Amino acid sequence: MRRIGKRLPRGGFKRNAAAAFGLLLLPALAQAAPRVIPVRDARAVYRVSQPGRPEQTWAVRFDAADGLVRATSLSGTPMPMTVLLDLHDGRAQLVLTQMHALVNVPGVAGAMARVMAMQGAHFTPLGPATIAGMRCTRYLVLRRNASGTACLTPDGFALAAAGGDTHGHVSVEALSLRLAPQPASDFAPPAGYSQVTLPPSMLAGLLGQ
């Protein structure tokens, strides 16, 4: 295994790109009958916005049966990249095609566990809405040291989510969502890629942070 630089510190990646995808999942975990992952396969395009940073768009696929997410950057990142996320164990990998590299991102499992626990979260329904041509229910989400809003479909998809805490504010909105089976092979890491560990500054630069 080839390594470049030192390992990422705890809390680096999870407060940036991974936090945005965690924000998509957070609302669905705290309903009366919580759903950890969407119950149907789908593909979507999301816009991610953070104050003072370039707006990003990502093509996101969901594998409901295995709890897998594949997110590929479309714009706003310095380099094309794909994030592979396992919702069951919090494992995240960053696929850098131009570098022919696969980066294991530590620290995400702990972040996902805290999201799934949803300790102290309170959801208040705000009424129906239509986003990306689909109906969802808007909620006010209050939690200790954090607050936000979300719009959820009955089958566990967040069409919009926005929230802030001591680390900053992130908003995510679906531009499109299409329910359809997704090939399981698309969620596997590519063969033949070198596994590397990037220093925090390099990873932040790749992510446009």
Highest mean pLDDT among 100-114, 132-146, 171-185: 171-185
In the chain, pLDDT over 90 holds for what percent of residues? 32
Task: Give the confidence band of 136 by pLDDT, cuts at 50, 70, 90.
Answer: very high
CA pair distance 118, 26, nearest whole angstrom: 8
pLDDT digits (tens, 9 = 90+) for 18-66: 555 555 554 444 445 335 468 899 999 999 998 988 899 999 999 999 9
What are the φ and ψ backbone dihedral angles of 83, each rounded to 5 degrees?
-110, 125
- Is residue 160 situated within a structural domain? yes
Structural domain including 94 reads: 13-177
- Is residue 188 situated within a structural domain? no
**Gyration radius (Cα) of the chain, Å:** 16
- Check residue 111 and report its DSSP letter: H
This prediction has a pTM of 0.76
CA pair distance 130, 112, nearest whole angstrom: 28
Q: Is the pLDDT of residue 122 over 80?
A: no
Three-state secondary-structure class, residue 68: strand
- Is residue 192 situated within a structural domain? no
Domain count, the chain: 1
Instruction: Look up the CATH number of the domain holding residue 61.
Output: 2.50.20.10
Asked whether the beta carbons of 144 and 133 are under 8 A apart, the reply is no
- Is residue 183 situated within a structural domain? no
